[in-house]
Structure 1
Amino acid sequence: MTHEDSGSNAAPAFDPDSPEEQPGGALEAMIGRIEGEMAELQFPRFSKDDALALGLQLVEMGKEGNLPIAIDIIKGDQVLFHVALEGATPDNEGWVRAKQRTAARYEEPSLLVGLRGRLGGGRIEDNAWFDQSTYAAHGGAVPVYVRGVGAVAIVTVSGLPQVADHDLVVQALREIHRSMRLG
């Protein structure tokens, strides 16, 4: 069960992939939800061993769901974890890099960058200064924040609809965050 369908009183979810008219307030609600995730998921540390645990958590989730995804975790220019599960395509690699660049540039989840670009109407991609050959404001790349430090790494998933990519990363980050608090 995803965050969007966890309660019958929840605001209708915003679907950035839909060409249809969206429910009033749904965009703002989704932006608020992602900002809440950023505030919640402040890690005490993030080592290479933590990156491995996170990557393996995502592999387990991907295999359980038979998800055709590429998973990537970077710290600066260093790749800490990378794998393509069955069904992932070479196109996913390009999406991983473009979403990572967006998350790194803004130090925010790539989905949030895209959603904020819609607040005034339109999309960030409609702006001439947004280079779509380099960046992608689509969900799936989420910075890893260390409390008191800021973004120290980026975890990216590609292969699902963009909100599902984002939600999968957040679910795995929550698992690792929980294990750090308990450990």
Structure 2
Amino acid sequence: MPLDQDPWPTQEELLREEGELELAGLSESDAYELGILAVAAAKERELPVAVGVWRAGRQLFHCGLPGSTQDNDAWLRRKGRVVMRFEHSSLYMARLCQDKQVTLAQRYGLPAARYAAAGGAVPLRVRGTGVVGWFGVSGLPQLDDHRFVVEMLRSLPR
């Protein structure tokens, strides 16, 4: 998938960003609050997105906003699988694949029907523990999906 016209962050910038998004913890209540925060912001902006928060293979939050479809739900899960497989954002993996001019299927043997290297899902990394889950949205261009997720995570208290 070719990079959008909008300049993408480099792999190094995306790795630095992931480190800056580390959380103190991720309880069910934390996941709910993150999901509600994202839904409120998306509703205010009238964004047609699906929002999801997962921890340890368990979906803790999901909401499909007006204009989103089942296809967005499927993309969300595919991007989340990439996050959990590689413990990096789905945009990082899209950038890595683009830079190496390969697909996930070519490089890692992962079926495109289950894995999507496209922006919009970010690992939920807990200080002292590592990646425990992921948070994502689907429904916008992939760089916008990614930026929205990062914006929501940055707005959380540290």
Q: Same fold (TM over 0.5)?
A: yes
For 2:131 and 2:11, how far apart are their aligned partners in 1?
A: 19
Paired residues of 2:91 and 2:117 also in contact (CA < 8 A): yes
Q: Does 1:57 align with 2:37?
A: yes
Secondary structure of 1:127's match?
helix
How far is the alpha carbon of 1:118 from its aligned partner? 1.9
1:74 matched residue in structure 2? 54
SS of the residue 1:42 aligns to: coil
1:118 to 2:118 alignment:
no
Q: CA deviation at 1:32?
A: 2.3
| Matched-pair contact (CA < 8 Å) for 1:68–1:87 | yes
- Which residue of structure 2 lines up, in the alignment, with residue 139 of structure 1? 119
Equivalent of residue 83 in structure 1, options 59, 63, 81: 63
Q: Shift of residue 76 of structure 1?
A: 2.2
User: What 5-or-longer segments of structure 1 have no aligned partner?
Assistant: 1-14
Q: The residue matched to 1:82 in structure 2 has which SS?
A: strand
> Quick one: structure 1 residues 91 and 46, their matched pair in 2 at CA, closer, same or farther if it must change by over 3 Å?
same
Runs of 4+ in 1 over 6 A off after TM superposition: none
**Cα distance, 1:125 vs structure 2:** 4.3
State how far apart, in whole Å, the 2-side matches of 1:154 and 1:126 are: 22
Query: Deviation of residue 77 (structure 1)?
Result: 2.5
Q: 1:89-143: CA deviations, max 9, x gaps?
A: 11101101111111110011011011011223x2324617231011000011111
Q: TM-score, normalised by structure 1?
A: 0.79
* TM-score using structure 2 length: 0.91
Rg larger in structure: 1
Q: Does residue 86 of structure 2 align to residue 106 of structure 1?
A: yes
3-state DSSP class of the match of 1:83? strand
| Partner SS state of residue 143, structure 1 | strand
Counting matched residue pairs gives 156
Q: SS state of the match for residue 37, structure 1?
A: helix
Structure 2, unaligned runs of 5 or more: none
Cα shift at 1:17? 3.5
- 1:165 aligned to 127, 145, 149, which one? 145
